[in-house]
């Protein structure tokens, strides 16, 4: 997780990002905004390493998404508007995996895998059979 800390600029993203958002239940207007604009991200890890926070930065606003590094959490806002429960974990191979499930059905809403390789942050978004990859460069 610590190698993700810092500010990242979106370099590239697969063309199926809109399909991923649709699978996640994102409303049409928000999908249009998210697919036409580019959002940079910043990650911070609290001093006690108990909270990992993602900041999404666009020209319109900055969104904050805190995640406890231990146990499950329920975010205040979700892309679909449905209640979700998530957990973040770090694998032995250095992947940071965020798994989100719908509270009402237990069905997987999305799995997001992050890995820093050669100074680039590679993010894989998965919703059902849709996989969308993004690459970010660290801002200096």
**pLDDT tens, position by position, 96-122:** 999 999 999 999 999 999 999 999 999
pLDDT value at residue 140 = 79
Exposure string over 102-116, b if 16+ CB within 10 A, otherwise e? beeeeeebbbbbbbb
List, edge to edge, every strand of the sheet that includes 72-73.
62-68, 51-57, 40-45, 6-13, 130-138, 120-127, 108-117, 96-102, 84-90, 72-73
Q: What is the span of the domain harbouring residue 53?
A: 2-138
CATH number reported for the structural domain that contains residue 114 in this entry: 2.40.128.20
pLDDT value at residue 96 = 96
Distance (Å) of CA 140 to CA 69, 96, 110, 126: 26, 22, 30, 29
**pLDDT tens, position by position, 56-91:** 998 888 899 999 999 999 998 898 899 999 999 999
- Closest to 74 measured CA to CA, from 53, 51, 103, 50: 103
Question: Cα–Cα distance between 43 and 59 in angstroms, integer?
Answer: 18
- What's the structural domain count of the chain? 1
């Amino acid at each position: 997780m610590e190698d993700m800390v810092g500010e990242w600029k979106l370099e590239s993203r697969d063309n199926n990002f809109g399909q991923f958002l649709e699978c996640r239940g994102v409303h049409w207007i928000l999908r249009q905004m998210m697919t036409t604009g580019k959002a940079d991200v910043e990650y911070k890890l609290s001093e006690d390493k108990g909270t990992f926070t993602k900041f999404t930065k666009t020209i319109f606003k900055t969104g904050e998404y805190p995640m406890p590094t231990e146990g499950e959490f329920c975010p205040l806002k979700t892309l679909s508007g449905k209640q979700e429960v998530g957990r973040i974990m770090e694998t032995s191979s250095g992947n940071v995996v965020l798994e989100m499930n719908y509270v009402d059905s237990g069905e997987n809403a999305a799995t997001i895998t992050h890995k820093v390789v050669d100074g680039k942050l590679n993010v894989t978004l998965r919703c059902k059979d849709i996989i969308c990859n993004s690459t970010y460069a660290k801002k200096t």
